[in-house]
Structure 1
Amino acid sequence: MSAHPMPRSSWIFPTLAVLLFIATSIPSLGIGFTETTAGIVFAVVLLVILFGTVFAAVHHAEVIAHKIGEPFGTLLLTLAVTIIEVALIASIMLGDKAVPTLARDTVFAVVMIVCNGLVGICILVGGLRYREQDFQVTGSNIYLSVLIVMATITLILPNYTLTTPGPFYSNAQLAFVSVATIMLYAVFLYTQTIRHQDYFVADGSSEGAAGGHVSNRLLAISAILLLVSLLAVVLLAKKFSLVVDAGIERIGAPEAFAGILVALLILLPESVAAISAARGNDLQKSINLALGSSLATIGLTIPAVAVAAYALDKELVLGLSAQKMVLLVMTFVLSMLTFGTGRTNILFGLVHLVVFAVFIFMVFVP
């Protein structure tokens, strides 16, 4: 990595994000979101800077991960993305308008975007270029087994509990489920990075060890810029929530659309990397990035949001509607068939994209 200079965007966007937050914090400047032409321009600038800062944060996390190796590299990447996600969800949930379903909608959107949209694009892109692509069935089955359990106990089971009427968990139930998901994710990380690392590496390739090509100077700069990027996203999350609320109200979109926006913002950097890997005939890496992000979202975001909701005495709705549960179950059944052979083609990718299209359509026309 040190052979290439640090991209300018990796320090420009965090700097712009900090400057934008400072500017909006000075009342006399009058900079902020309003439903005027100037306010719309501010919203566009905010979204561009926010997206750029998220990309910068992921870039710096990858630089550090390359240097420190596994399992700490994977954990660092996961924590960086999760901090951003929790900040965005909490800022909208704690806004002027209560959105108790946002965490549920975001997690569900992540699963549907990843398991249908991203997986479908990766398989289709790879199939068009290479006809067929191979991957490790054992590793994919591990991903799916953990993902199915996590999604079921966080998104479906709350509808069928007796202690409290659905779609809620009682405090005791929410605490138990949060601990269970964290434990599942921790054991999964241990399995992926230490115990059975070979399950998640394509045949004929080898997992890179800690990289010695990252200089200590670059490592220090990336560590500082990573902290700045994460802090900037957290500080701008409140401004983002105002833009999302106003945008949804103006276009008349359902509340679930906010969850999709947050999910897209969080998944964009990893999605670009996954599609690039598929184009490079490394579908295994695409699967690792895609399904791994789903596990991290449920395993870490739900417990973090649960703690925030309990501490601030906020309502947290987790159970999905019957329609969404059908889509979730169909997604898991389809994923088991897709990843059950170790070989993919364009038809698998197209089927996943059709399910993703159904998901998006049903958000607006339920």
Structure 2
Amino acid sequence: MRKEWPLILGLVILIGLQTTHLLDWLLLQSATVVLSGLGGLSLLILLLARRIASQADHLAERLGEPIGTLVLTGSVILIELALVTSTMLSGESNPTLARDSMFSVLMIVLTGVKGITLILASRFQTSGITEPFQPEDMATVNQSGASTYINLITTMSVLVLVLPNFSSDSSEANFSLPINWLLTVVAIGLYAAFLRFQTGSYRNLFLEASKQLELPETKASNGLHKASDHDSDSTIRSGILMATGLLILVLIAESMGNLIEVGITDLGLPSSLGGVLVGFLVVAPEALNAFQAANRGEVQRSLNTLYGSSLSTLCLTVPAVLLIGEVTNTNVILGLNPMESVLLILTLILVRPLSGRVSELDGLMLLSVGLVWISLQVVS
């Protein structure tokens, strides 16, 4: 249990936040103090995310792919929903918060995190090779599964973040209520169908490319071997610890809504930075999990985590935000501005796999786009 000290620390701080007036006191202080408090809580969330990623990695090994990464993806989406909901219901009305949060998650995951993941996986694959690299030396991606993910992410990105700008049935970058309900049904329906395929008949598309060569009998025997060799108590323990860590993280993140709004407002920073911060906090557990897998050369497992995060953000956050906006009579703007639309389209082009091989250069291109995006957020 000594390794679980971030959970214990998080629980202590959570109790303090809930039983004292510390947050109320922080909100009345100067911007420097507010940002210091926000930085401290963000650091705590990163520590919790590291332990959550470790437990998720443990679960993934026992449950197998792609179900293992789905456990983390399905749990982490709660963090984003908690952060966005908390910030929407507190402070000044920010109609673009949900849009900025979703766009930030996409850019952080598809440029920064994926870029680093490809670099780590490529270096693992070519470590010890002194001769000029051959195509078979490059990191391998299961192209069919990756293409399926990207097609769905592209579809939902355009429907949610680009198409509203061209809608004629609303005065702002949004749809009318009937179209929003249709968009909600489409988002949830597509995600449900995808999960059914990913965990059912199309499961092989989301395994490491090398594992596709195994015979069905071999895969079946491997599953029985794993089930008999691993202690079920260890799996249950990892699941409980991961769920506990996520619960503590979500409750602490909920308390950060006002701090994010006040900190950004007092410094006169662009409101979109709130979405960027939410995005960083949301993807932290999955980013760490993807880095761990990439360090072992498991490219497809990393991509399952990253693409799963992006897809769940688009398919689950949008319905929740539209529902909250309708119930609370809060204005919600979905459409990106022209510059962000161009960056999103460029990113979707770069992440689309042209072959089953990737190199460090692919990662560097994505990191370059991410760096430009972050710089534009700060100076705009």
Structure-1-length-normalised TM-score: 0.86
Relative to structure 1, the CA distance from residue 58 to residue 308 in structure 2 (aligned partners, 3 Å threshold; closer, same or farther) is: farther
| RMSD (CA atoms) | 2.8
Asked if structure 2 preserves the Cα contact closer than 8 Å seen for 1:102 and 1:258, the reply is yes
Cross-structure match for 2:204: 198
Q: What is aligned with 1:329?
A: 345
Q: Secondary structure at the match of 1:8?
A: helix
Rounded Cα–Cα distance in structure 1 between residues aligned with 2:250 and 2:140:
39
Say whether the 8 Å CA contact 2:101–2:276 is kept in structure 1.
yes
- Does the aligned pair in 2 maintain the 1:24–1:32 contact within 8 Å? no
Aligned to 1:117: 112
**Equivalent residues in 2 for 1:302-341 (5 A)?**
302-336=318-352, 339-341=353-355
Query: In the aligned structure 2, how far is the partner of 1:322 from the partner of 1:8?
Result: 46
1 CA distance for matches of 2:206 and 2:243?
Answer: 29
Q: Residues of 2 paired with 1:102 and 1:156: CA distance?
A: 16
Q: Which runs of 5+ in 1 are unaligned?
A: 1-5
Amino acid at match of 2:11: V
Kindly state the Cα deviation for residue 63 of structure 1 after the two structures are TM-superposed.
Answer: 4.8
1:352 aligns with 2:356: no
CA distance in 2, matches of 1:127, 1:76: 26
Please tell me the residue identity of whatever aligns with 2:105.
V
Structure 1 range deviating more: 342-351 or 122-131: 122-131
| Partner residue in 2 for 1:48 | 43
**1:23 aligned partner:** 16
Shift of 1:17: 2.9
Contact 2:264 2:273 survives alignment (8 Å): yes
1:87 is displaced (CA, Å) by: 0.2
Mapped contact 2:66–2:203 kept (Cα < 8 A): no
In structure 2, stretches of 5+ residues that fail to align are 127-132, 213-218
Query: Would the aligned equivalents of 1:160 and 1:166 in 2 still touch at CA under 8 Å?
Result: no
Greater displacement, 34-43 / 189-198: 34-43
Aligned to 2:97: 102
CA 1:350/1:135 → structure 2, altered by over 3 Å: closer, same or farther?
A: same
After superposing the two structures, state which structure 1 stretch, 347-356 or 27-36, moved more: 27-36
Choose 59-68 or 320-329, whichever is displaced more.
59-68
User: Per the alignment, do residues 180 and 333 of structure 1 end up closer, same or farther by CA in structure 2, a change over 3 Å counting?
Assistant: same
Q: Which amino acid aligns with 2:173?
A: P
Rounded to whole Å, the distance in 2 between the matches of 1:203 and 1:310 is 44
Deviation at 1:309, TM superposition (A): 2.1
Task: Read off the aligned partner of 1:362 and give its amino acid letter.
Answer: L
Tell whether the 8 Å contact from 2:91 to 2:258 is kept in structure 1 after alignment: no
Matches of 1:284 and 1:227, distance apart in 2? 24
- Hey, what's the Cα distance between the residues in 1 that align with 2:259 and 2:21? 21
1:167 to 1:189, Cα distance in 2 relative to 1, 3 A: same
Matches within 5 A, 1:199-238: 199-205=205-211, 209=223, 212=227, 215-238=231-254
How far is the alpha carbon of 1:104 from its aligned partner?
Answer: 0.7
Report the Cα distance in structure 2 between the residues aligned to 1:106 and 1:29, rounded to whole angstroms: 26
Which amino acid is the alignment partner of residue 15 of structure 1?
I
Deviations 1:67-113 (A, max 9, x none): 55677645432221111110011111111221221111111111111
Say whether 1:145 aligns with 2:151: yes
The worse-fitting range, judged by mean Cα deviation, of 277-286 and 255-264 is 277-286
In the alignment, the residues of structure 2 paired with residue 101 and residue 121 of structure 1 have an alpha-carbon distance, to the nearest angstrom, of 28
1:3 aligns with: none
Letter in 2 for 1:180: V
- Alignment of 1:33 onto 2:26: yes
Change in Cα spacing, 1:201 to 1:24, as seen in structure 2 (3 Å) is closer
Query: Do structure 1's residue 184 and structure 2's residue 179 form an aligned pair?
Result: no
Q: CA deviation at 1:320?
A: 0.5
- Residues 140/217 of structure 1: CA separation in 2 closer, same or farther (3 Å cut): closer
1:258 and 2:306 correspond: no
User: In structure 1, what is the Cα distance between the partners aligned to 2:240 and 2:357?
Assistant: 42
Greater shift, 271-280 or 356-365, is seen at 271-280
What CA deviation, in whole Å up to 9, does each residue of 1:206-246 have, x standing for no partner? Answer: 68748535545444544544444343233323431233223
The change in CA–CA distance for 1:362 and 1:176 in structure 2 (over 3 A counts) is: same
Residue 264 of structure 1: CA displacement? 1.0
Cα distance per residue 1:305-354 (max 9 Å; x no partner): 22222222222111100111111111112222xx1111122222222111
User: Which protein, 1 or 2, shows the higher relative CO under an 8 Å CA cutoff with sep ≥ 6?
Assistant: 2
Aligned partner of 2:7 in structure 1 is 14
How many aligned positions are there?
357
Cα distance between partner residues in 2 of 1:284 and 1:75? 13
Shift of 1:33: 2.0
In the aligned structure 2, how far is the partner of 1:192 from the partner of 1:61? 18
State the shift of 1:146 in Å.
0.5
The code of the aligned residue for 1:178 comes to T
2:259 alignment counterpart: 243
> Displacement of 1:250 after TM fit?
4.4
Aligned equivalents of 1:249, 1:278: Cα separation in 2: 38
In the TM superposition, what is the alpha-carbon distance from 1:20 to its structure 2 partner? 2.1
